[in-house]
Structure 1
Amino acid sequence: MPDKTLRIPTPDGQADAFAAFPADGGPHPGVLMYADGFGIRPVIHEMARELAGHGYYVLVPNYFYRHGPVPVLELPEFIGEEERPGVFARVLPMIEAHTPELVLRDAAAYLEFLAAQPEVSAGRVGVTGYCIGGLLAVRTAAAHPDQVAAVAGFHAPVGAAGPEVFSRITAEAHFGHAESDLTTETLAELNRALDAAGVSCTSEIYPGTVHGFTMADTDTFDPAALRQHWENLVPLLGRALPRA
C-alpha cells in the first residue's frame, strides 16, 4: 500500500502528516484520520494502510505539530502498565493546550488539503478518530457539515462535545465506546443527546473493552474489538462515500 509523508499548510505553520492510499492512483474518497493522544507511530501507519486497502485516501495529520514534528514524543515500542503514567504525564499538557479553537482552525486546513490531493475524488469525505482524536473528528464534522459525510470515534470522549456541537452534525456517525469509559446509564444519556440533536448514528459499548482497545502497541489492545471497529467503520464509509 503506497504511503508518503506530507506537510499541510495551516494558519499557524505546517503540520506534518502521513498519507496512505491505493496503488492504482485513484481517485478515491478521502478520509481524515485523527490518531489517539499518543500520536502518529507505526501502529497508526498500519491502521491507515488497512483503511486505505478498502479504497480510501487516508490522511493522518500530526495535530500536535505546534510542539514539533513526529515523533513529538519518544515512545516505548509497547505502552504497558509501567510505561503509561509517564507517557500520559507528557501527553496530557499537549492535549489540554489543543483548544477547540485550535482544533477548528486546523480542521479547515486539513480538509482543504485533503480535497486538493490528486488521488482524492471530489465530494464529501469521512472523518474518524481514536481517543482524543475521536473528539477532534466530532468537532470537525460539526464545523464542516457540507464537507463531512461520515464521522466515527472509538474509545473517544464524544460526550465532551456537547449538544450544541451535536446539533450541527449532518454526517452519519458511529461511536464505539470502551466498557471502562462509561456506564450503560451514561451511554443512554449520551445517545439521548445525539438523538435529540438529530444525529443519525449508532453509539454502543464494545463488550469487555477498556480504553484504547484499538491500539495494538498498548496493553489495552483487544483484537476482537479492533475487528468490530473495522466491521462498523468500513460499511459506514461505504454507505456515506459512494464510489464514482
Structure 2
Amino acid sequence: MPKIRRISDTITTPDGECRVTLHVPDSDGSFPGVVMYPDAGGARPTFDEMGDKLAGYGYAVLVPDVYYREKDWQPFDMATVFTNPSERERIFAMIAKVTPDFMAADAAAFFDYLAGRPEVRGERFGTTGYCMGGRTSLIVAGRVPERVAAAMSFHGGGLASDDPGSPHLLADRIQAAVYVGAAENDPSFTTEAAETLDKALTAAGVEHTIEWYSAAHGFAVPDNAPYDAAAAERHWQATAAFFGKHLR
C-alpha cells in the first residue's frame, strides 16, 4: 500500500467541534473525497486503519467522530459491547441521539471542509459506512443530494423500515449511485427490506446495486466479533470498483 498521511483536525458544525481524521496519499496532487462513517462503535483505531486502506486506492478519506456531541465519551469494547447489559444500553442510547437531522447538518460541514482542502478535488463526494454508518451514508445521500456522487452501505441496518427517517423514503431525492453490501441472515436488513429498498430506488431512477455477502452483520470491520476476512476483502474490491467508476 502507498504511504498515507493521517491528519487529525476538527470541523466546526452547528453543534460544536467534531474531531476527524483525514487520510490522504502521501504524494502530490488532489484526490476525490470520501466520508467514511463508522459503525456503532464510533471512530477508533480500526477505522484509522480502514481510512488508510481506502486512501491507498487514491482517495482523500474523512473519518468523523459521529458521537462528538457526547463530551468525552469512552470507547467501547466491540468484543463485548452487545453482551454486556450496561454497555449495550449505553451504545444504543448514543446511537439514538444521532438523528437524520444531525447527520445532514454534519455532512454539509464535512463536505465544505473537504472542498476547502488542497488534497481534495471536486465539489461532489463519496460516502461509505458500516452498520449504523451504512444507514447514515444513504440518509446523507438523500438529505444532501447535491453533494453526493456515490453512496455505499455495508451491513447497514434500517435501510427500509417503518421509521419515518428510513433511507428508502428519500429515494426520490438521491442523485448518487448507490451500492448496498448486505449480510445474509441479518435481522437489521432482511430480504423483505432489500426488496422494499430496491423498489424505491428503481422507481426513483437511482442507479443502484444490492449484493449479498455470505457472512454475518459486522463482517467488514476487523474488530467486530463477526469479522470475516474473505467477505471483507470482497467489500474492499467492491469499494474500489464502485468509487473508481463514480468518483473518477
The question of a shared fold, defined as TM-score above 0.5 by the shorter chain, is answered with: yes
Query: Is 2:213 the counterpart of 1:206?
Result: yes
Post-superposition offset of 1:82: 7.4
Instruction: For 1:77-226, list aligned pairs within 5 A.
Output: 79-80=79-80, 83=83, 85-157=85-157, 158-160=159-161, 161-181=166-186, 182-207=189-214, 209-226=215-232
Report the residue type matching 1:21 in the other structure.
V
User: TM-score of the superposition, structure 1-length normalised?
Assistant: 0.91
Matched-pair contact (CA < 8 Å) for 1:187–1:204: no
Once the two structures are aligned, what percentage of the paired residues are identical?
38
Preserved CA contact (<8 Å) 2:40 2:132: yes
Instruction: State the alpha-carbon separation in 2 of the partners of residues 129 and 201 from structure 1.
Output: 16
> What RMSD, in angstroms, separates the aligned Cα atoms of the two structures?
1.8
If the length of structure 2 is used for normalisation, what is the TM-score?
0.90
Aligned residues: 238
Matched, 1:49 2:56: no
Q: Which amino acid aligns with 2:175?
A: T
1:68: how far off?
Answer: 2.5
CA distance in 2, matches of 1:13, 1:107: 13
Quick one: which of 22, 27, 30 aligns to 1:27?
Answer: 30
Q: Aligned letter for 1:73?
A: Q
Deviations 1:98-156, CA, capped at 9 Å, x for gaps? 12111111111111111111110123211111111111111111122222110000111
Q: Structure 1 counterpart of 2:118, which letter?
A: P
Residue 186 of structure 1 deviates from its aligned partner by: 3.4
Please list every run of 5 or more consecutive structure 2 residues that lacks an aligned counterpart in the other structure. Answer: none
1:59-105 deviations in Å (ceiling 9; x for gaps): 01111100035xx32333x5148756543321111111112111111
- Distance between the aligned counterparts of 2:50 and 2:124, measured in 1? 21
CA–CA distance in structure 1, aligned partners of residues 236 and 6 of structure 2? 20
Distance 2:193 2:169 in 1: 18
Higher relative contact order (CA 8 A, sep 6+): 1
Partners of 1:80 and 1:218 within 8 A in 2: no
Question: How far apart, in 2, do the equivalents of 1:162 and 1:119 lie?
Answer: 30
One-letter amino acid of the counterpart of residue 241, structure 1: L
Q: Which ranges of structure 1 fall in alignment gaps of 5 or more residues?
A: none
**Equivalent pair of 1:163/1:197 in contact (CA under 8 Å):** no
**Partner Cα separation in structure 2 for residue 136 and residue 73 of structure 1:** 22
